[in-house]
Structure 1
Amino acid sequence: MKHSRTRLVTIAKRLGIFAAVTAVALSLVQCDATPSDKDHKPSRADRSPSGPSPDGSPGGGPERLITDYTSGFDKDSGYRHPTREDRRTMAAGIALLLDHRRTEAERRLTDVDFAVRTVTDPVGGRRFAEVADRSEGGAAPRGWGRVYIDLDSPVRWSVQVPHPVADRYTERLGAQLLSHAEGGVLVVAGAHRKAGRGDEADVAHRRDSVFHAICAELVRRGLPGVQLHGMDDASAPKHDVVASTGRGRDAIAEGRDLADALRERGYDVCRAWARSCPLAGRSNVQGRTAAARDVPFLHVEFDARIREDRDRSREVVEALADVTRTWRRPD
């Protein structure tokens, strides 16, 4: 009897040890299955457009949406050359939106897998139509860009960002200008300028891009445009800004106003219509298209000091906004 009791105690101890080991093993498996906050990299779906941005700017507005969109751009992020029909379809869809024919626009843009939605700036409450690629979160993004259109004011002008990320923070300046001044259309390229083969993603110098097709449609409607670029310190060491009217001369008055406003704020501006300046944008194809139709166009290069500092970028956005207010709605 004593021997039986001893044997039962031994078996019970062994079972207890086995249970404890099993519990520890399960605990380790569960820990391995859940990544830590430090290691977890949120996917595009994890990021909520209504939350605050990493730099503390208000969430949900054009700036947050654009910087979130461009955050993954790099030289290897991919680019697919659009066909002529792709470009025509995109331009036609944007045209329908500008004509307030949203249902038709959505139907047309569906042909190239783009979608339209309304987004609201949480600060001022202004509404914008966002035209975005449904496939941009895939493994091989096409890189055709996005468009934002003011829905609460008659559209009068455009701001263009052909080199997001490559010209660092120009995408942020473009979004800030759209939010700061009424009646704008923001066109943002969908890839780093060195993505794809050769220079095919450098949309400022290519006519066969979705970006150019949309900007050409805006020019066809007579909408003035300002295109934002970033330069390094070595490109124009004596200047903070290079302002140009590109190939044409239709925006000289606006260029002077911008240069004067920036000078009053303490910036040295090279005025390309009055003297020889580097990076004057003479070969820029959007500028050439505007010049051919006598539509005002400004090509503006900002140094890194302006683009990287929020106070300075706010000053140049205010100066740009003043210029856009002089552009009336085309008849």
Structure 2
Amino acid sequence: MRTPLPAAGSTRRGLIAAATLALLVSGACADAKPTSEQQRGPDPEVLIDELTAGLSRDNPYRDPDTEERATARRAARSLVTEPNAANDLDQVFGDLGFRAHHGTDPVTDRPFDLYLADGSDDRSWGAVLVDRGTAPRTVIEVPHPGFDINTEKLGLAVHRKTPGSVLLVAGAHRQAADSDADVAHNDRSLFHTLATEFARNDLDQIQLHGFADRNLPTSDAVVSTGSAPVTPVARRIADGLSGAGLNTCRAWVRKCGQLEGKTNQQGRAAAELEAVFVHLELSWSVRRDAEARGRVAEVLAAQLAVA
């Protein structure tokens, strides 16, 4: 016996139902991807690039007041000693004008916390990016983003290659506010307050700078410890950079064209605290070349990882 065909109306209703179900399923699948991306959080590189791109000597900047510096010290201590107190840290950094971002780094696949002051007011205090894969032990500092071109890119690259590192990026052009925003030479800045508190809590520091080729044409890099004593890690970094093909001037061996960082305020504080501080200057020829920056990042990460 032949099976009777369904009526035309029921066929149309079945097709409509099937199409509706397909749309619902495809919509659910479309929703799934953004949800996953949202769980990963933003890409820190994008946010730091946006911060740097907006820097201008005409932007507002001010130093923190006494209470804000005390809050910053508390934030730095908590970041090191209470790594699981994310909500408390969000509140403390929020009181300083920072917005909290959390997620998984798309390059390292490690969890991160990023505190970002976007410069929407005169608290142009930059970014603090923390690798949460392990306990903090190293601070990578970028005091002149945008001005010392590509130091922020190198800083992020070193951070991503160095588990347990904190990336500290200034948030204003170094010539803003009559150069008060030059945080490497301003011991009243929030940058200095955070860096010093990190040093007090036994985190090693490396600070990244840049120089014009004409200022020291015989060198690609200058390694120093500022006012602090010469340390094994500084020697290892200098040797590593030389091994990577860079002409490296060692400030404890000879003069390096006034690029030794002797007046650097974070270096002076580190010397008083007997903490590790490395001051690294790179030529424009190195900083503009992505492959050369990559070699530098590999060297720094390898040497900073040595206990």
TM-score by length of 2: 0.82
What corresponds to 1:304 in structure 2?
Answer: 284
> Displacement of 1:200 after TM fit?
0.7
Of the candidates 183, 186, 196, which is equivalent to residue 206 of structure 1? 186
Give runs of aligned pairs for residues 1-150 of structure 1, distance below 5 A: 60-98=42-80, 99-100=82-83, 101-133=85-117, 136=118, 138=120, 140-150=121-131
Check whether the contact 2:183–2:192 (CA below 8 A) recurs between aligned residues: yes
Gaps of 5+ in 2: 1-36
> Displacement of 1:113 after TM fit?
3.0
Deviates more, 1:117-126 or 1:161-170: 117-126
Gaps of 5+ in 1: 1-49, 51-58
**Alignment length (residue pairs):** 265
Q: Which whole-Å deviations, capped at 9, do the CAs of 1:42-71 have from their partners, x for residues lacking one? A: xxxxxxxx8xxxxxxxx9543333112211
Q: Which whole-Å deviations, capped at 9, do the CAs of 1:75-132 have from their partners, x for residues lacking one? A: 1122123212112212212322322222222232332332322132112211111112
> Displacement of 1:149 after TM fit?
0.9
What corresponds to 2:6 in structure 1?
Answer: none
Residue 320, structure 1, aligned to residue 300, structure 2: yes
C-alpha separation in 1, matches of 2:93 and 2:152: 23
Deviates more, 1:78-87 or 1:208-217: 78-87
Of the candidates 200, 219, 235, which is equivalent to residue 199 of structure 2? 219
More helix by share: 2
TM-score by length of 1: 0.76
Residue 186, structure 1, aligned to residue 186, structure 2: no
The AA in structure 2 aligned to 1:315 is R
The AA in structure 2 aligned to 1:298 is V
C-alpha separation in 1, matches of 2:187 and 2:140: 18
> Displacement of 1:285 after TM fit?
0.6
C-alpha separation in 2, matches of 1:176 and 1:63: 9
C-alpha separation in 2, matches of 1:119 and 1:68: 18
What corresponds to 1:41 in structure 2?
Answer: none
Sequence identity (%): 37
Q: Which whole-Å deviations, capped at 9, do the CAs of 1:218-243 have from their partners, x for residues lacking one? A: 01101110000010012211100011
CA RMSD between the two structures: 1.7
Where do 4+ consecutive residues of structure 1 move more than 3 Å?
59-62
C-alpha separation in 1, matches of 2:166 and 2:292: 23
The AA in structure 2 aligned to 1:194 is Q
Deviates more, 1:241-250 or 1:78-87: 78-87
The AA in structure 2 aligned to 1:117 is H
